[in-house]
Amino acid sequence: GTYRIAVVVGSLRKDSFNRKLATALARLAPADFAFQQVRIDDLPLYNQDDDGAPAEAVRRFKAEIAGAQGVLFVTPEYNRSIPGVLKNALDQGSRPYGQSAWAGKPAGVIGTSIGAIGTALAQQHLRNVLAYLDMPTLGQPEAFVHAKDGLFDADGNIGEASRAFLQGWVDKYVAWVKRHA
């Protein structure tokens, strides 16, 4: 069968480096893996009052997560943490209580930043949330990707300097999903 991976990108920016990274990483996966970027920009701000009647976008989002065999988070760092839009998506997917879409889904965490420490602190905050959400999360290798010239080639593939490292990361992520799915 095919392993469906829900890819959650933590940036809404049209030209997001993290979205480009997500797209390029998907191309490094084997043929039995299908990576699908899921929308989070249409999710309303989480409000517990809506638990009884979630918005259509929330129901769609949760179904996409529930139907996936794994989740890949590709996120920028905002003010040394994860962007609010990503936290909102995590919160929306986790509720109502007892009906989380996240529980048990194997996860990978990666991200790119123009800053030198490349999303390390955002990833650490995200890992804390994923632990609580009961998502087995790939621990090694870690990948803090510096968004600099040459990260992507003209076709949007991972550039030469980072390709072997990120291929190794994807290989480990794929094995992690297969082990936990």
- Site residues (vs ligand FNR, CB under 6 A): 11, 13, 16-18, 76-80, 113-115
Question: Closest residue to ligand FNR, Cβ-based?
Answer: 115
The helix/strand/coil state of 53 is coil
* DSSP assigned state of 67: T
Q: Closest distance between ligand FNR and the C-beta of residue 66, in Å?
A: 26
Q: Closest distance between ligand FNR and the C-beta of residue 166, in Å?
A: 16
Between 18 and 162, CB nearer to ligand FNR: 18
Between 17 and 33, CB nearer to ligand FNR: 17
The terminus-to-terminus CA distance of the chain in angstroms comes to: 12
Helix (H) or strand (E) holding 90, with range, is helix 84-94
Between 115 and 136, CB nearer to ligand FNR: 115
On the CB side of 96, CA atoms within 13 Å amount to 7
Between 115 and 159, CB nearer to ligand FNR: 115
Beta strand spans in the chain (E) = 3-9, 33-37, 70-74, 107-113, 144-146
Q: Closest distance between ligand FNR and the C-beta of residue 164, in Å?
A: 23
Q: Closest distance between ligand FNR and the C-beta of residue 114, in Å?
A: 5
Q: How many CB atoms lie within 10 A of CB 148?
A: 14
